[in-house]
Amino acid sequence: MSCSNSNVVKWVEQSVALLQPERVVWVDGSEAEYKGICDLLVEQGTFKRLNPEKYPNCFWCVSDPKDVARVEDRTFICSKSEADCGPTNHWRDPREMYDLLYSIIRGGMRGRTMYVVPYLMGPDGSPFSKVGFELTDSPYVVANMKIMARIGKVALKNLPDHSNDFVRGLHTIGQLDSEKRYICHFPEDNTIISINSNYGGNALQGKKCFALRIASCQARREGWLAEHMLILGITNPAGKKIYVTGAFPSACGKTNLAMLIPPKLYTDAGWKVETVGDDIAWLNFGSDGRLYAINPEAGFFGVAPGTSYATNPAAMDTIRANTIFTNTALDLDNMTPWWDRMTDQPPKRAKDWLNRDWTPASKDKPAHPNSRFTAPAGQCPTIAPEWETPNGVPISAIIFGGRRTKVAPLIYEAFNWQHGTYTGVTMCSETTAAAEGKVGQLRRDPMAMLPFIGYHAGDYFQHWLDIGQRAGAVLPRIYHVNWFRRNAAGEFMWPGYGDNMRVLEWIFDRVTAGKDAEKTALGFQPRPSDVRTAGLSISDSTMRELFEVRPEDWREELDSQSKFFETIGSKVPKALWQEHAALKQRLGLK
């Protein structure tokens, strides 16, 4: 395969001179090529083939034990001015970082193959899609990129011959030296360099590196939004369809909502929920002034533990073919993947994620808590037929949601875009037992983007506000949900999972029919009787408690918000401080 873009060719030649690979392979994205890469990984011992009857064309692998997750402390934004980076990122001077990285990787591909991976973020032919290139010496990365992005010829087709508008990416696994592990972003140069990691979030550069950190900077310059959001479509029995996006911090049900299967009483009546994307949304303005979203990815890079037919049947059906499983357990009797809570009964004998023999008598869990599956989005049973529509899907609502024991009610709607921006900026969750730190500790995660904003967080907040001031904009309504409120006994009051459809129905009716709502201190809320509870064992008093807003609970919350704003510094927009003061006044707090 050849590339006719001279800017790309020149950059690849310069990179070859730097890295000195034994040979260079341009990836064309064909199925035959993918088969060859997987065969090579099996031959090298990296992949093991799974049971072809139960998991056709699926593979199991384990990583280096020290390379199992994103490394935020080794992730850097290398902007020319430190003021453009901000307190939520690690900053390095770009010239100094280029010098350091090049000193580490110079000649680093000697004896290895360099794969040139052209990839397209977004649907083929979309005016909102963007092209990147990843030069890598990892066939594991090539195999995963085949699933996660549209790679090869389709990417080159979407890059004009003389364009210089593409993201340049260098990746080498090096020696997997954690002391020299760097995940670096150069926003002014549209460049990503990641070294000494083979983990997806660090090495699959189209994922968080391009689709969020670099794209958020592009979005700011070009007037759109690159967000850590799911996209789903909701169709009512009359056939009317809307699309919503949603941003949720870790462990708040994002993937389950993206692939939600409604309760039987809804499906019997003709309601339908479909998946457009599970993780990232790029939102651009259409000619009608509305925000249209595309899913820039082509696959799902999902957390395996906790995924089961009880929690997410659509995901389970998706991963039954053409999937790569990393750091799960391997059931040796069936040659199938396994992880905690996947089934009621664990395998009798298995290999764990450290490639050790494992039985139910072993003291350690066999799958790593961050073990992953990489699966094609197109084979998800709930995938929307419009998921690759070039112009995207029009967004009617944006949902924010955190994990809160109290304070936040089940649902409320922001008064307007500015208030909704404040709602997203102040979103937070309480840590669970699976997370580091004290259980129940608040962790602020504005728009679920805290680790992924490619520039100063205060400027990012202002960009959201500026989007709302665009002339002729027809903006989505903004909502906040909390599936995790508990009663005095510590029990969850709301059933969650598929029953979250009952809340989506209220949102649907608000944006399509202007359904009545009560104006409260927080925003517009349904009356408890406005959320359908047929078929649930939930009392009227519990429903009232789910919507209760207690000013004294919010006193502590508002103090916490103030402290968070102070960590961002002087760039916090005045409009957000005004919203903070207005909420305090509406709650009657001094």
Q: Round to whole Å and give the CA distance between 411 and 172.
A: 45
Q: What letter does residue 446 receive in the DSSP assignment?
A: G
Transcribe 222-239 into DSSP letters.
Answer: HT-EEES-EEEEEE-TTS
Q: What phi and psi, each to the nearest 5 degrees, are found at residue 418?
A: -65, -45
Q: Round to whole Å and give the CA distance between 221 and 54.
A: 47
Q: Which residues pair with 351 in a beta bridge?
A: 330, 357
Q: Round to whole Å and give the CA distance between 282 and 267.
A: 29
Residue 69, judged by CB atoms within 10 A of its CB (0-12, 13-18, 19+), counts as: middle
Q: Round to whole Å and give the CA distance between 297 and 337.
A: 24
Q: Round to whole Å and give the CA distance between 504 and 234.
A: 8
H-run or E-run covering 515: none
Q: What letter does residue 328 receive in the DSSP assignment?
A: -
- Identify whether 61 is a catalytic site residue: no
**b/e code 147-180 from CB counts within 10 Å (16+ = b):** bbbbbbbbbbebbeeeeeebbbbbbbbbebeeee
| Strands 357-358, 350-351: pairing kind | antiparallel
Q: Round to whole Å and give the CA distance between 449 and 212.
A: 8
Q: Round to whole Å and give the CA distance between 509 and 396.
A: 11
Q: What sign for the dihedral angle of Cα 542, 548, 551, 556?
A: positive
Q: Are 447 and 379 in contact (CB under 8 A)?
A: no
For 160, residues 6+ apart whose C-beta sits below 8 A from its C-beta are 5
Q: Please, how many CA atoms are within 13 Å of residue 576, restricted to the half-sphere of its CB?
A: 31
> What angle, rounded to 10 degrees, do the helices at 457-468 and 417-425 form?
160
Catalytic residue among 38, 58, 78, 252, which?
A: 252
Q: Round to whole Å and give the CA distance between 584 and 451.
A: 28
Instruction: Kindly state the tokens that stand for 534.
Output: 């047929």
Cα radius of gyration rounded to whole Å, the chain: 24
| Strands 150-151, 113-121: pairing kind | antiparallel
Instruction: Give the distance, in angstroms, between the CA of residue 128 and the centroid of all CA atoms in the same chain.
Output: 18
Residues classed as catalytic? 252
